[in-house]
A and B are shown apart, each in its own frame.
Chain A
Amino acid sequence: MFFPISNTDINPIYLVVVGFIIGILGGFFGVGGSFIAGPALRLMGVDWNYAVGTDLAHIVGKSIVAARQHRSLGNVDLKLGLIMALGTIGGAEVGAQFIQALKRAGNVNTVVSFVAIVVYFSISVFMLWESHKTLRSAKGRSPQRLSGVKEDHSAFGPITQKIQRVKIWPMISLPTSGIREISLWTILLVAFIGGIFSGFLGGGAGYIRMPSMVYVLGIPTHLAVGTDLFEIVISASYGTFTHAIKGNVDILIALVMHTGAVIGAQIGVVATQYFAGPKIRLAFVPLPLIGAAIVIYTLITGHKF
């Protein structure tokens, strides 16, 4: 099938299958899957600028489906999502400015690659340690407390509580997430940092925002996944619009990829119902490592797929 906007010839079945895989990841983990979609498009000869912009457009569609499904399961905190969207958009602009500065300095590829490897690897190691510790301590608890209830303990809990006790006006409550009081600035800061990574490393940066929501803000994992997807709808829409103006979006490719993502996202969302929070976090561990492996591969071989 010929896609005239990006001037590429791609088998639509390939696009549907890629969309399907990313849809499952998105529905289950609340991530955009840009670390797979970008290279997958590049592999078919799509230019990087189109790969980045088109991936963002596809993320919008996929996240709408997954967020709607999560909302029907009660996994979306709308108030938190809207506040985070503001912080993310601001952070994304700052991240993009860092990229522009590195471009001017002439070392953008090396710096971004090394930052990506360190960030992806750190997230994986931390989540592996935390979820293992939590699952181990859960074994010692009485089975009655665990059965039937979707409990979500975290070994990082005491630090999360300390962060929640930081009293910087204005304080807000998040009843849907079960948080009585938290500073608005804490939420904005978490979203802003996630936005910087989104602008700096590309994609929706769900790989950093979802863990941050769990460990820093203390949001239960299921709610963090759903709310992150809702937030991604807003921030990725903004990204799609700005990229489309710059001529970086082939919406026809995004529409075809998205047909596979719809089914994948539904499967991913339903799957979250069968796993406890720490198990979802443990399953998340390989994802940033895949991203790190891709970056290391491009650094060593010099190939951009």
Chain B
Amino acid sequence: MKKQTAKSLRAFAIELAAYSVLVIVYFFLVLHLLGDWLYHLEAHHRYTYAGVALLLIAGQAVVLDTVTTLLFRVLRGRRK
């Protein structure tokens, strides 16, 4: 049981490290590129901004959830 917990923790630590790298790349690429466009939308087209905001947060949720699940599966699979 203890071995299993240690294995899970190790896999989680590796997952966290890989995820951190992805998130940093994401910050610099996606948010930097989207920033000005979203600022403009928020100032001039509120309804479009509201729709885009919802799509962005929902899309990010699905994509990041898939990425973390895949990462976890790959790491687990390698350990087995």
Which A residues are within 8 Å of any B CB, using their own CB? Answer: 1, 4-5, 12, 16, 57-58, 60-62, 64-65, 68-69, 237, 240-242, 244-245, 247, 249, 251-252, 254-256, 258-259, 262-263, 266-267
Q: With A and B bound together, what is the CA distance between A137 and B12 in angstroms?
A: 37
**Shortest beta-carbon distance from A101 to chain B in Å:** 26
Chain A-chain B contacts (Cβ-Cβ < 8 Å), number: 92
Query: In the complex, what residue of chain B is closest to A20 when comparing beta carbons?
Result: B16
- Residues of chain A with a CB closer than 8 A to B62's CB: 64, 68
Q: With A and B bound together, what is the CA distance between A255 and B35 in angstroms?
A: 11
Q: With A and B bound together, what is the CA distance between A251 and B54 in angstroms?
A: 9
| Cross-interface CB contact of B38 among A5, A61, A237, cutoff 8 Å | A5
With A5-B38, A263-B16: A254-B57 Cβ-Cβ less than 8 Å: yes
| Cross-interface CB contact of B60 among A237, A258, A266, cutoff 8 Å | A258
With A65-B64, A263-B68: A58-B57 Cβ-Cβ less than 8 Å: yes
**Shortest beta-carbon distance from A11 to chain B in Å:** 12
Q: With A and B bound together, what is the CA distance between A157 and B68 in angstroms?
A: 39
B56 at the interface (CB under 8 A from A): yes
Residue pair B26, A5 in contact (C-beta under 8 Å): no
Residue pair B57, A4 in contact (C-beta under 8 Å): no
Mind listing 27 A-B residue pairs with CB under 8 Å? A4-B39, A5-B38, A57-B53, A60-B58, A61-B57, A64-B58, A64-B61, A64-B65, A65-B61, A240-B50, A240-B53, A244-B53, A245-B47, A245-B50, A247-B42, A251-B52, A251-B57, A254-B53, A255-B60, A258-B57, A259-B26, A259-B60, A262-B64, A262-B65, A263-B68, A266-B65, A267-B12
Residue pair B57, A57 in contact (C-beta under 8 Å): yes
Residue pair A252, B54 in contact (C-beta under 8 Å): no
**Shortest beta-carbon distance from B6 to chain A in Å:** 16
B10 at the interface (CB under 8 A from A): no
| Cross-interface CB contact of A245 among B31, B39, B46, cutoff 8 Å | B46
